[in-house]
A and B are shown apart, each in its own frame.
Chain A
Amino acid sequence: MQALIEALGLQQTLDLLALSPPGWGGNLLGGLANSIQIALGAFGLGLVIGIFGAYGKLYGGPVTRDLLAIYTTIVRAVPELILILILYYAATDALNKALVNAGFDRIQISGLAAGIGVLGIVQGAYATEVLRGAILAVPPGQIEAARAMGMPPMKLARRITLPAMLAFALPGLANLWLIATKDTALLAVVGFAELTLETKQAAGATKHYFTFFLAAGALYLVITLVSGRLFARAERWARRGEPGAARGGR
């Protein structure tokens, strides 16, 4: 009897999570795809901002350095939720007002683009700090040697600094990537259909709150664990030339 009820209970859960309607599994996976897309976009944008930001902080003029300091300070002091609201509503509004004033038509910014932009700006501030630290960790002799050989700055960055700092940057970047995947959940508050909002809607429509929230938690956990593995492998690869690298990790 007990086993039967248990089997029935599980059956209901499986039905709710089935991939094709009337199950909601497909919706959750769709939300997951959106979340990953935004996280990837934001992480990429953050990296680009971070590389320029780190170089600006290290080698830029005093004005650049101060502006970057203001940027990283503000982003790291204000809650992401508020930055998202400000950038999601105010920044798109300001952009459109500027366009209209300049005589252009207003553009529509898709939720996806806005989400990537917003989280990318947040990620950029953290990436700036991570990459700055990593560049500083590169033995200065290597960079000086390349300079002495007459290597132009762009080539120096591409061939020496960036590859050499990768090993130092990867642990911090892994952390940032995890933050990016989890911060996508905040877009639920502005109504973007990523995993957390899809979950809440499925839960609200079916009244099975526990089932869906646990299922979504499991999906997030899978992302975390899989990307943890990938980053560990990437770090081992980045450290392949170092003496004693066989130990792996830090």
Chain B
Amino acid sequence: MRTALLALAAAVGLSGMALADPVKIGIAAEPYPPFAVPDASGNWTGWEVDFIKAVCAAEAMECAITPVAWDGIIPALTSGQIDAIMASMSITDERKQTIDFSDKYYQTPALLSVAKGAGITPDAAGLTGKIIGVQGSTTHADYVQKHFSGVVAEVKVYQTQDEAFQDLAAGRIDATEADSIATEAFLASDTGQACCESAGALAYDAEILGAGVGAGVRKGDTELLAKINDGIAKVLADGTYEKISAPYFKSSIYGN
């Protein structure tokens, strides 16, 4: 009986090992336009997907883009289901305690979006008594927790930012805080144009919002980290970065 179970375990394990070779780059399994969006043919497209491909090409790495749930993306990395996270994850001191980060590859401010004509300002006074929605495990969730948790009526935590936008359109929340590019992409969509508008940028808080977006790797995985850093530097230096960005953004999102 025991040997049979062992054989079974081995079979399950082996079937999992068959595709072990390429570097698995984890992205969040959710539409996050314009960075990563699933299309109708089952592929992922978007700026960040193009960027991942460019970095992998620059390093001649074989990469497999692997969608995983955002709220489990760090455990997925530490447990070895993926090898790196490139999912618009901000570099924060808190996350650095668990994983290592590459150099940043873009940096954008945080924006508050609200229902049209709601007259909410992006500060504690404006949000007093309102319901605010955020995606869980994000810098925005931490920001709201730190700055607004005392004044708002309720903080609703979503699995994906897409759901928060959907509930903003449905009128179930009064405001949602998210990355400015993702917010603008939503506001430009049909649903977004119909319902909502930007209330402006939130005051910058370096401790929480972090120092831009970087790739996350397991602690001690210096080899992969060096490769990714080198790849990012190459993509930035040889003009690929601008070439990738042109179809998506009017100005550079690298920040300073």
Contact in complex: B40, A207 (CB < 8 Å): no
Q: Does B97 contact A (CB under 8 A)?
A: no
Contact in complex: A207, B72 (CB < 8 Å): no
Q: Does B12 contact A (CB under 8 A)?
A: yes
Residues on the B chain within 8 Å of A27, using CB: 38, 40-42
For window 85-122 of A, CB contacts with B under 8 Å fall at 85, 88-90, 92-93, 96, 106-114, 116-117, 120
How far is A113 from B80 in the complex, measured between Cα atoms in Å?
Answer: 13
Q: Does A168 contact B (CB under 8 A)?
A: no
Contact in complex: B68, A191 (CB < 8 Å): yes
CB < 8 Å: which of B13, B29, B66, B80 contacts A93?
B80
Contact in complex: A108, B68 (CB < 8 Å): no
Q: Does B16 contact A (CB under 8 A)?
A: yes
Q: Does B5 contact A (CB under 8 A)?
A: yes
Contact in complex: B8, A45 (CB < 8 Å): yes
Chain A nearest CB, measured from B40 CB (Å): 4
CB < 8 Å: which of B40, B68, B189 contacts A190?
B68
A96/B79 contact (C-beta < 8 A), A113-B15, A117-B12 known: yes
Residues on the B chain within 8 Å of A30, using CB: 42
Q: Does B160 contact A (CB under 8 A)?
A: yes
Binds A, one of B17-25, B144-152, B176-184: B17-25
How far is A62 from B162 in the complex, measured between Cα atoms in Å?
Answer: 53
Q: Does A126 contact B (CB under 8 A)?
A: no
Contact in complex: A108, B24 (CB < 8 Å): yes
Residues on the A chain within 8 Å of B190, using CB: 207
Q: Does B206 contact A (CB under 8 A)?
A: no
- Number of A residues with CB within 8 Å of any CB on chain B: 44
Task: Count A-B contacts at CB 8 Å.
Answer: 115
How far is A107 from B79 in the complex, measured between Cα atoms in Å?
Answer: 10
Write out, one digit per residue, whether chain A residues 183-203 have a CB within 8 A of any chain B CB (1) or not (0): 000000111110001000110
A52/B1 contact (C-beta < 8 A), A197-B29, A204-B31 known: yes
A201/B30 contact (C-beta < 8 A), A89-B75, A107-B17 known: yes
B15 to A, closest residue via Cβ? A113
Q: Does B163 contact A (CB under 8 A)?
A: yes
CB < 8 Å: which of B38, B69, B79 contacts A189?
B69
Q: Does A205 contact B (CB under 8 A)?
A: yes
A107/B16 contact (C-beta < 8 A), A89-B72, A204-B163 known: yes
Q: Does A244 contact B (CB under 8 A)?
A: no
A107/B72 contact (C-beta < 8 A), A114-B81, A201-B29, A201-B30 known: no
Residues on the A chain within 8 Å of B99, using CB: none
Binds B, one of A4-12, A16-24, A128-136, A222-230: A16-24
Contact in complex: B39, A21 (CB < 8 Å): yes
Residues on the B chain within 8 Å of A192, using CB: 29
How far is A120 from B224 in the complex, measured between Cα atoms in Å?
Answer: 34
Chain A nearest CB, measured from B36 CB (Å): 11
Contact in complex: A108, B75 (CB < 8 Å): no
Contact in complex: A114, B16 (CB < 8 Å): yes
CB < 8 Å: which of A22, A92, A197 contacts B81?
A92
Residues on the B chain within 8 Å of A21, using CB: 39-41
CB < 8 Å: which of B29, B39, B80, B191 contacts A109?
B80
A21-B40, A114-B81 known, 13 other contacts, Cβ within 8 Å = A20-B41, A24-B40, A26-B40, A85-B72, A89-B75, A109-B17, A110-B16, A110-B18, A112-B15, A116-B12, A191-B70, A191-B76, A193-B67
Q: List 29 A-B contacts (CB under 8 A).
A: A22-B40, A30-B42, A52-B1, A52-B4, A92-B81, A96-B80, A106-B80, A107-B13, A107-B16, A107-B17, A108-B81, A110-B15, A111-B66, A111-B68, A113-B15, A116-B12, A189-B159, A190-B68, A190-B72, A191-B28, A191-B29, A191-B67, A191-B69, A193-B29, A193-B67, A201-B31, A204-B30, A205-B38, A207-B191
Which residues in A have some Cβ–Cβ distance to B below 8 Å?
20-24, 26-27, 30, 45, 48, 52, 55-56, 85, 88-90, 92-93, 96, 106-114, 116-117, 120, 189-193, 197, 201-202, 204-205, 207, 209
